Amino acid sequence: MSSAPAYTPRHGAVYPSLAGTTVLITGGGSGIGEEIVRSFARQGARTAFIDIIEEPSRALVAEMRAEGHEVVFERADLTDIEATRGAIERIRAAIGPIAVLINNAAHDERASIDDVTPEFWDSRQAVNLKHQFFCAQAVYKDMVARGAGSIVNIGSFAYVAGVENLTPYLAAKSGVIGLTRGLARELGVHGIRVNCVMPGFVMTKRQLDLWVTPEVEKTIYERQCLKRKIQPADIARVILFFASDESGVCTNQAYVADAGWT
């Protein structure tokens, strides 16, 4: 592998349209989601997130508060649609009608073909696809009233790349594209944009703890055009763009942020 010369990226885009905007993020308590929460809060957005994990979520709220940002956390299991609706109601009461929705939460539990039961299959669709629709359904009227809105659904490069023992997850993630295109068509008349961002192999804590061995690192560098690791903040930056007015005519699309793997 020939590596590129050392270069330090200079980040720091500011999106004036996000300042003061209300943003709801699912799965904001860890992984890519926590970086999405930080990124919106630092843009001055009125930021709220739903997660099932309490302690890391509360620690993130405290971290943001120490930086001078008010971030709202509601605990809910997103596979419980009634509980999710209740959490969204409380978030709306706290930060106001929702202008931006980032459907980020998922769970990539693996199982080989013989281990997939009907119950496991359904649970994977519930945690990786179903709540994306019902969160959109719960907030889109806020966006209709505003005459604008942005929904970003997080997909995955994995269903294009092909990853072993992940078939139910990959089916759900390809479903995110269909969900995106259906909602974009249905909601575009109200000025609501709906896009999908498909991350590549991202160095989240979960990935590092479970999967990033020296052999996997070798594969990553072989397959990616860019010979560097993708960090959660790299994905959050792409999401900020699709949430902001700078992507005002982008809708009904899926953008792959995988350093050129696929």
Positions annotated as catalytic residues are 169
SS3 97: coil
- Judged by CB under 6 A, which of 23, 48, 105, 179 binds ligand NAD? 105
- How far is 99 from 74, CA to CA, in rounded Å? 18
The answer to whether 134 touches 84, Cβ cutoff 8 Å, is yes
Query: Contact between 78 and ligand NAD (CB under 6 A)?
Result: yes
* DSSP-assigned states of every residue in 201-218: SB--HHHHHHT--HHHHH
Q: Which two tokens stand for residue 29?
A: 């308590």
Query: Contact between 138 and ligand NAD (CB under 6 A)?
Result: no
- Judged by CB under 6 A, which of 79, 224, 247, 251 binds ligand NAD? 79
Query: Contact between 204 and ligand NAD (CB under 6 A)?
Result: yes
Task: Using DSSP bridges, classify how beta strands 253-257 and 71-75 pair: parallel, antiparallel or unpaired.
Answer: unpaired
**Contact string (CB under 6 A) for ligand NAD, positions 14-53, x = contact:** -------------x-xxxxx-----------------xxx
- Report the residue number, 175 or 199, with the smaller CB distance to ligand NAD: 199
* Minimum distance, C-beta of residue 255 to ligand NAD, in the bound complex (Å): 12
Q: Which of 40, 42, 48, 47 is nearest to 68 (CA)?
A: 42
Half-sphere exposure of 35 (CA within 13 A, CB side): 17
Buried (b) or exposed (e) across 186-209, using 16+ Cβ within 10 A?
ebeeeebbbbbbbbbbbbbeebee
- Judged by CB under 6 A, which of 17, 39, 150, 207 binds ligand NAD? 207
* Minimum distance, C-beta of residue 228 to ligand NAD, in the bound complex (Å): 14
Q: Distance from CA of residue 208 to its chain's centroid?
A: 18
- Sign of the CA dihedral with 166 first, then 81, 41, and 237 last: positive
Query: Contact between 259 and ligand NAD (CB under 6 A)?
Result: no
- Report the residue number, 158 or 240, with the smaller CB distance to ligand NAD: 158
Query: Contact between 87 and ligand NAD (CB under 6 A)?
Result: no
* Minimum distance, C-beta of residue 57 to ligand NAD, in the bound complex (Å): 8
- Judged by CB under 6 A, which of 15, 40, 159, 201 binds ligand NAD? 201
- Report the residue number, 68 or 162, with the smaller CB distance to ligand NAD: 162
* Minimum distance, C-beta of residue 256 to ligand NAD, in the bound complex (Å): 10
Query: Contact between 109 and ligand NAD (CB under 6 A)?
Result: no
* Minimum distance, C-beta of residue 5 to ligand NAD, in the bound complex (Å): 26
- How far is 85 from 90, CA to CA, in rounded Å? 9
- How far is 250 from 247, CA to CA, in rounded Å? 5
Q: Which two tokens stand for residue 191?
A: 């000025």
Q: Which residues contact 218 (CB under 8 A, 6 or more apart)?
A: none
* Minimum distance, C-beta of residue 155 to ligand NAD, in the bound complex (Å): 7
Binding site for ligand NAD (CB under 6 A): 27, 29-33, 51-53, 77-79, 104-108, 127, 154, 156-158, 199, 201-202, 204, 206-207
